[in-house]
Structures are given as C-alpha cells and as structure tokens.
Amino acid sequence: MNVFLWIVVGGMLGWVGYRFWGLNEHRGLVISIIIGAVGGLLGGHEIAPVFLSAAAIPGNFSTAALFFAAAIAATFLFVGNLVYDRWGV
C-alpha cells in the first residue's frame, strides 16, 4: 500500500509541476508524471528508510515516508527541468 501511495503522490506532483509550475513543459505531461512517480518511489523506498526507522516496516503506513516520497519527487522534477534547460537533455 505504501508503494502505491508513493507512486501516486509522485505522479500527482508531476502533473501539478507540469500544469501549474511549468516544470518539464518541453518534455510533456506523461514524462513529468513518470519523473514524479519514479522520484516518489525512490524517495519512499530508498531515502526514507535512511532517515526513519518506522519506514523500514513494510506493513505500516508512514506519513513521514510519504513526505520524503513527495519531497524527492518534487526534487526530481526540479532537477529534471534544470537539466533540460541547461543542457537540453
């Protein structure tokens, strides 16, 4: 359940980033959602357990892990936009 929520929150941030913040406009909506979803998954699965001991328990819902997933997804979107603007990749 946590993994699904991390992906959904990341995808929603990708959509918000594309529609309202103007991030990754040149790449398109689908790529923004994918970047956000991957950022959410990596943030919740890889980054949150480093800082939180409760996130390592797979069965329990963790609001803090969800926060880390959202923060890393937003960071991925920002960095993806920055990389595209700087180097066109």
Whether 23 maps to a domain, the answer reads: yes
List, for residues 8-52, the tens digit of each pLDDT value. Answer: 999 999 999 999 988 888 889 999 999 999 999 999 989 988 888
End-to-end CA distance of the chain: 34
Whether 89 maps to a domain, the answer reads: no
Domain of residue 45, residue span: 2-84
Q: Specify the number of domains making up the chain.
A: 1
Q: Based on the number of CB atoms within 10 Å of its own CB, is 9 exposed (0-12), middle (13-18) or buried (19 or more)?
A: buried
Whether 50 maps to a domain, the answer reads: yes
The pTM assigned to this predicted structure is 0.88
Cα–Cα distance, 89 to 82 (Å, whole number): 10
